[in-house]
Structure 1
């Protein structure tokens, strides 16, 4: 047999190892058997690796030699109609299948997407170009359809979706020919360690790509099949392995069906597949008649949409876990070998380049090229000084442009270090990876002065991140419609750079449709694709000049995927709004946002009414008040717009107000008590109830419902209690004087003082439902700042600021304007200024007053109740003053009680210290016993006590 000699050599080597694994002879012999089995197949199997220049070169040479009549390609069979559209594209691009409405798959997994990238330096593109441009040649895709991809993946779909994909591909599942990589970490780590490389891409380039770049067809085919057999036999037999076997059964079943239907001769066919699949020994593999078929399940009812999207080298690297820059290096290697071997690749007519005439096919028996390849030394190229010197000069030039202080000495150092590294790693010729390491070592040094480090500059130098583009003719109808409707702007929208569009809608009213389309695209596309610089779109606004930054060239994928959702942008926008409003997690605020967007972008009263009815339905079904602030803000804006533009409110608005009034009245007592309901949410509920009260009452609501809800509310937290007081004040149950008395009692109670900031925060939130309380809130804040001790005041101030910023930003201007009306505008005006709440004190009113607590920074004095002590209040302590106290000195101490307290002042002074009062003892002159008032005179002077006793006993 052809490989008997190689089999004997490998078995002899296995025996010589002695202490090796017991399965080693079986593995080595099995590899030879796999190669022999693949070469005996009448239908030629061509093993490839994805984005491999060696595979592309071997494919190019084989197509010219064999000239097959049928090419079977490992690619999703339902992507075949897209292949002809590659003529209108600039590579790299990706074939895509997309589905947003699923049937037969879990709804929560939508949308589903599959992409298959295509680059020029790939065997699949060479096969596609040959088949499409050569008359009489059939191209048949035989891999599972997109629907079957997700059927096979099942719940393990996430396992094959790589982490951190480039946004050109998004979260699509990548499908590509020849995913050739060790399936377990130990083997890969072993190969990297002994190969003296950092990652798999560098190992593959060094030990497979470079040796096979110029190999003949038989050598290439045998070596690739051997590598695929090795990785296959060492791969763990897990779920992925089982899916790969099912794929092989599927593909061979399709091949046999096509051969039977067309009567094609297997000798005139070529099967292009990954090297892993080329070494398959399954019973269902083969083109011989009678080979058992695989039962292919029917597709689901899911409707798949197909198209082409831009791709890039970096996106492919991220999608398939390749080293950064590896695809760019592969493209450079491809171009270099084309020039070296004087080959002209196959290209589609719509792209640059052409085809060479096909030579006559060369046939002959297959010999054992594998033994000589494995036994002989590697044919490594010598040092190409001119190429390496050019790299070193160019990287220094590029580094200087990016802020590095590089010089000719650095270029020499990079050259010598590249040679040194290649020698240390056993290479006769420095590879691009050696050059990268040398450049980083010699140029980057201790810092990166700009956005790009030296490794990134090397990637740019060695090929750069080439980005593809889908041509106009290959775009879906929606994308072409977008470009056509934006044509009046006079910009090249396919250009991959930001372009500024200036719209003067007064001088050029024909640009108004462009403005409308741009605002819709702003809503549908990523933020950077369409960005307004000047102008906005809000209810009631109309701008006559707009300025836009457009970057549709770099976001072409997003525009294309809009075409999978509809024929026009308006249709997609309407579908999005409906989807948002009818989403299972939608809230009333979400539906109101959809209503507002429909009014801004579509001007469709029918759709707006439908979305408004949905908002009413969602509001009535809500059991929490988390979205109350958003609901209040949006319905206020909508009502204001309707009142200014239409004679009557829409019916859904009226129903929203009446339903919301009843709904929030029902939830109010519970919201006041629940810890989950914040002060902001309760304040928004009260804002809806009081703000919409007049409209709700005119529509038939009952105010008694609100009064009952407020009376049933019994909050326990200080902030919500302040909100309740404000609500009672709005309903007329609590006067402003009583509110002041409550606040003064809080400030005068040492036990409650630490909680006063929470009360104040509640009063600030009360400006939402009761805006006329603004003067009172300013007064309360002033009293709090003046009377609270520093240990309470200072920690509260940052909390107050952050709370106002995050939860009540719109209330800050209200407070600022009211403070501006209350306080003097200049520093000089502060002298002799009396706050309005002190000036309101009735003439002749009296009250007990004490000084402000020490450390509060307030020069005035506090008061209890609704009275405020004036400047005439004494700072001395008095005792025993009766009706005849007018003859005594103010603040004098008299009477037996006063004399006793003056003799033992410790207790009194301690109580005065707790209350924050200070003073000195003054003794009053003695009063004769005959002049002292009797009990009747005391009762006449102080009748309140007697009246209280009489009322208790009913006299």
Structure 2
């Protein structure tokens, strides 16, 4: 395999031929003729294939012959970064045009306060000109030190007299030009929807056309969230067949490995002209072999027209000499064929549309190697490998990269530039003529790159050591096996020396053995060995004002909140009341930030309660992105919280329950009665406008809590709260007759409505409501569903219309009717839900359940029991304790007593008779009474039964004994079980 391109790369399907130009003209005439002859010999006629090959050469000739020097790059490529570093030191341009969203330029100076990698971000939460369901919109551009764009940015910002100009379309145009937005505009203009190819995906998840913008869904992409990513220089085939072809013939597993093997390594040490020609060649190849996608192609070309238009505008306005300028763009765009290409083009300027009314906010967020890999569809570990390759190449070349790190680093970098200028040729010595370096590079065999045994040996020893620390049973034999296996894999893949990818595959095969004892597999250990997943951080000075204010206000905690580790904060508010402000801020942050960023371990805050001790886990340094994006919404946390609460109650989908939740949050988190009144008033408006009762249970639960809070803390109810009660009373009375017959309204919702009406009845009547409204509403309600019928029966009982005895008779009649028995469990469900509006009905519900268990046949009872349990668990968990307590008061406490237990709803137990007269107490009871007459006398006196003690007949008691008084005897005869139980208890008590 010779050169950066494997054999067979040009076999990927026909595309329209490009003009061949004048064969043999220009520096690439010989190469053009050679490729045309080869295509004719291969295909039998110089048609499509010859047009493709000659067109590629034409693209290279056109790009390199442009007066404005075009520097093609690939994103996160060490070869591009090193070539950029060398070119900047030699050419020392005065103007650098960079392919990056033009509205991100003011942020680039803040990179000096950050630890790379970081991402420049544009964020918008309030949209104007885009569909509201797209919110929030986010665009990011990750930057690493090994990238060519960072070297250009650092050079321009640290070199006096150098101007950096971003020329790509703005972040607003990123979404204006998205296929989904164009399809929507076409539908608005034509009156018929025109669905784009990826119209079904949201804009933040759709691939950004023209750059590598695949949004990763893996967990490692969490630093970027669902933002659209833009990068300089996406060099990857635009259709799967070509990429699969390259991977197959290159004997590699993924694209990152192919690029490293056939492009990255050959170009690391290449000269400037060779680098440019090869990169434009690859960009032209992928451009000409891309599929015919109108949406994608149109966006690519519009971006190129946009950039050349901005370049011309700047040159005209500034008067800069094109010889002192450098245009840095992706190799894909360097091979552009748009009519606006070049400074000598006579085509009219591209018409740039106005931005939408969306207000964009800008900032820096932390990034990481794994987040970049997931964002742009790269292989895991590829960015870390690129960083390691960059460090090794810079060290081997003996050059100092540009870094934005303050005055000290700036002077050191400036010294390096002075040394480079002294050794470099003068600016005028830069060759103006383009020489053909491409032919020699493609034809020359690969330079022998022998095995670096010391480097490979060090990797093998270190990976075994790292594996043992992570629980693997690795030994020296495994190190030897990895060494030999790496060489074997490199030979099988036609490589002169093992690469990082060969070493990683060998380590997985020889050490992991299909067993991962801990959290990290061997592939992840190899990534750590080669540099790991470097995570960037935004410095304090580059944070938004809100983020800096949060860190300043939490300073009394004495923690370093900028670290990426989780910090534990302990707050003793009784011992140190000054920490109360920190506690208030932490509770607000818990509401605004993700749950893992600020997490309470101990303590709670609810209506009327504040903990005296709290414990928190804080990960503000790890989750910088969430805190930074919070800073885009306001200046202080309190301001953002107010905006969020107002936005929640003004949202089109807001309900009365949503507004009441916002009221609770405002009371607990913000000391602002004005805001509470505003939110409460909005809750009254939403309640009056609702036409369904789906949220009635939530409304009832929240308004009960708020009423209890105000009754305990305020002298009178606020005006909004009183208005909510009166409005709700009239509202639910009006809706009750229609909702009970609505099949879509559940029993729980009807029960919550009645619960609101009955529990708020006293407050509503005191505020001027009429009880007849409720009586009329109940009388007009004619439900057919058995559960709702039972609910209305309970409501009539609560109103005094239906006595309990009559209600019991109705239930008995239902059980006696064989046609109704199968539906009786549904009545029971209604009675259970009736505990919400009529909690005093709990004894009757227990009675009805017991009767149902005793009388319902098994085919009806058994299938209903699981439904009852799940219904109570899902819809009425707060009703279960009420039922359990009432059942505990009703049923006997022990199993032994259950045999003689008589349900209280069956009336007093019949007195057994013998010979026509009441049976007397047992001998043991008589002995008890005669031994302790005082207790019997007291009970008899209490019941108004006076009498004297009489001798006990021999047939009943012992000889010579006495019986209780007349009242006591009648009492014992009527209730013999009580005396028997007491006697048994005393007989079994020790010492009796």
Q: TM-score range by the shorter chain?
A: 0.7 to 0.9
Q: 1:761 to 1:206 in 2, by over 3 A?
A: same
Equivalent in the alignment of 2:241: 186
Equivalent in the alignment of 1:929: none
Pair 1:779-2:826 in alignment: no
Taking the TM superposition and a 5 Å limit, the aligned residue runs for 1:520-919 are 520-839=588-907
Q: Which moved more, 1:420-429 or 1:750-759?
A: 750-759
- Which of the residues 310, 316, 319 maps onto 2:375? 319
Pair 1:337-2:427 in alignment: no
How far apart, CA to CA, are the structure 1 residues paired with 2:575 and 2:275? 67
Instruction: Give, in angstroms, the shift of residue 54 of structure 1.
Output: 0.8
- Which of the residues 49, 56, 61 maps onto 1:31? 56
Instruction: Give, in angstroms, the shift of residue 843 of structure 1.
Output: 8.9
**Corresponding residue SS for 2:393:** helix
Pair 1:164-2:216 in alignment: yes
How far apart, CA to CA, are the structure 2 residues paired with 1:380 and 1:700? 97
Q: 1:647 to 1:388 in 2, by over 3 A?
A: same
Instruction: Give, in angstroms, the shift of residue 604 of structure 1.
Output: 0.9
CA deviation string 1:841-886 (max 9, x = no partner): 7999xxxxxxxxxxxxxxxxxxxxxxxxxxxxxxxxxxxxxxxxxx
Pair 1:309-2:334 in alignment: no
- Contact 2:117 2:367 (8 Å CA) reproduced: yes
**Corresponding residue SS for 2:460:** helix
Equivalent in the alignment of 2:952: none
**Corresponding residue SS for 1:809:** coil
How far apart, CA to CA, are the structure 1 residues paired with 2:682 and 2:875? 27
How far apart, CA to CA, are the structure 2 residues paired with 1:809 and 1:352? 66
Instruction: Give, in angstroms, the shift of residue 112 of structure 1.
Output: 1.5
How far apart, CA to CA, are the structure 2 residues paired with 1:301 and 1:562? 21
Equivalent in the alignment of 1:206: 261
Equivalent in the alignment of 2:304: 248
Q: Provide the TM-score with structure 1 as the length reference.
A: 0.86
CA deviation string 1:21-50 (max 9, x = no partner): 931100100111111111111111000000
- Contact 2:462 2:529 (8 Å CA) reproduced: yes
Taking the TM superposition and a 5 Å limit, the aligned residue runs for 1:493-504 are 493-504=561-572
Q: 1:517 to 1:686 in 2, by over 3 A?
A: same
Instruction: Give, in angstroms, the shift of residue 90 of structure 1.
Output: 0.5
- Which of the residues 127, 137, 149 maps onto 1:102? 127
- Contact 1:380 1:429 (8 Å CA) reproduced: no
How far apart, CA to CA, are the structure 2 residues paired with 1:717 and 1:21? 82
Q: Which moved more, 1:280-289 or 1:369-378?
A: 280-289
Q: 1:842 to 1:741 in 2, by over 3 A?
A: farther
Pair 1:448-2:495 in alignment: no
Q: Which moved more, 1:778-787 or 1:25-34?
A: 778-787
Instruction: Give, in angstroms, the shift of residue 312 of structure 1.
Output: 0.9
Q: Which moved more, 1:392-401 or 1:278-287?
A: 392-401
How far apart, CA to CA, are the structure 1 residues paired with 2:557 and 2:319? 56
Equivalent in the alignment of 2:193: none
**Corresponding residue SS for 1:160:** coil
Taking the TM superposition and a 5 Å limit, the aligned residue runs for 1:290-439 are 292-350=348-406, 354-355=412-413, 356-358=416-418, 359-360=420-421, 361-362=424-425, 363-364=430-431, 365-439=433-507
Instruction: Give, in angstroms, the shift of residue 453 of structure 1.
Output: 2.3
Pair 1:468-2:524 in alignment: no
How far apart, CA to CA, are the structure 1 residues paired with 2:46 and 2:261? 28
- Contact 2:77 2:146 (8 Å CA) reproduced: yes
- Contact 1:87 1:351 (8 Å CA) reproduced: no
Q: 1:526 to 1:149 in 2, by over 3 A?
A: same
Equivalent in the alignment of 1:18: 43
Pair 1:76-2:144 in alignment: no
- Across the two proteins, how many residue pairs are aligned to each other? 844
How far apart, CA to CA, are the structure 2 residues paired with 1:129 and 1:525? 33
- Contact 2:65 2:434 (8 Å CA) reproduced: no
Taking the TM superposition and a 5 Å limit, the aligned residue runs for 1:84-233 are 84-153=109-178, 154-155=181-182, 157=203, 159-160=206-207, 162-165=214-217, 166-233=221-288
**Corresponding residue SS for 1:464:** coil
Q: Provide the TM-score with structure 2 as the length reference.
A: 0.83
Q: Which moved more, 1:564-573 or 1:453-462?
A: 453-462
How far apart, CA to CA, are the structure 1 residues paired with 2:806 and 2:253? 78
Q: 1:380 to 1:648 in 2, by over 3 A?
A: farther
How far apart, CA to CA, are the structure 2 residues paired with 1:252 and 1:262? 15
Instruction: Give, in angstroms, the shift of residue 593 of structure 1.
Output: 0.6
**Corresponding residue SS for 1:357:** helix
RMSD of aligned alpha carbons = 1.8
Q: 1:584 to 1:728 in 2, by over 3 A?
A: same
Q: 1:484 to 1:617 in 2, by over 3 A?
A: same
Q: 1:786 to 1:108 in 2, by over 3 A?
A: same
How far apart, CA to CA, are the structure 1 residues paired with 2:825 and 2:466? 61
- Contact 2:206 2:215 (8 Å CA) reproduced: no
Instruction: Give, in angstroms, the shift of residue 164 of structure 1.
Output: 3.4
How far apart, CA to CA, are the structure 2 residues paired with 1:639 and 1:502? 33
How far apart, CA to CA, are the structure 2 residues paired with 1:753 and 1:398? 71
Pair 1:518-2:586 in alignment: yes
How far apart, CA to CA, are the structure 2 residues paired with 1:450 and 1:840? 69
Instruction: Give, in angstroms, the shift of residue 824 of structure 1.
Output: 2.5
How far apart, CA to CA, are the structure 2 residues paired with 1:70 and 1:40? 19
**Corresponding residue SS for 1:141:** strand
**Corresponding residue SS for 2:71:** strand
Instruction: Give, in angstroms, the shift of residue 240 of structure 1.
Output: 1.5
- Which of the residues 36, 57, 70 maps onto 1:45? 70
**Corresponding residue SS for 2:141:** strand
- Contact 1:82 1:95 (8 Å CA) reproduced: yes
Instruction: Give, in angstroms, the shift of residue 352 of structure 1.
Output: 9.1
Q: 1:752 to 1:289 in 2, by over 3 A?
A: closer
Q: 1:837 to 1:397 in 2, by over 3 A?
A: farther
How far apart, CA to CA, are the structure 1 residues paired with 2:895 and 2:599? 46
Q: 1:840 to 1:62 in 2, by over 3 A?
A: farther
CA deviation string 1:395-453 (max 9, x = no partner): 22222333322222222222222221111111111222222222222222233222222
How far apart, CA to CA, are the structure 2 residues paired with 1:747 and 1:289? 94
Equivalent in the alignment of 1:931: none
Instruction: Give, in angstroms, the shift of residue 732 of structure 1.
Output: 1.4
How far apart, CA to CA, are the structure 2 residues paired with 1:501 and 1:723? 50
**Corresponding residue SS for 2:740:** helix
**Corresponding residue SS for 1:302:** coil
Instruction: Give, in angstroms, the shift of residue 98 of structure 1.
Output: 1.1
CA deviation string 1:596-650 (max 9, x = no partner): 1111111211111111111111111111111000000000001110111111111
**Corresponding residue SS for 2:225:** coil
- Contact 1:133 1:349 (8 Å CA) reproduced: no
How far apart, CA to CA, are the structure 2 residues paired with 1:351 and 1:662? 72
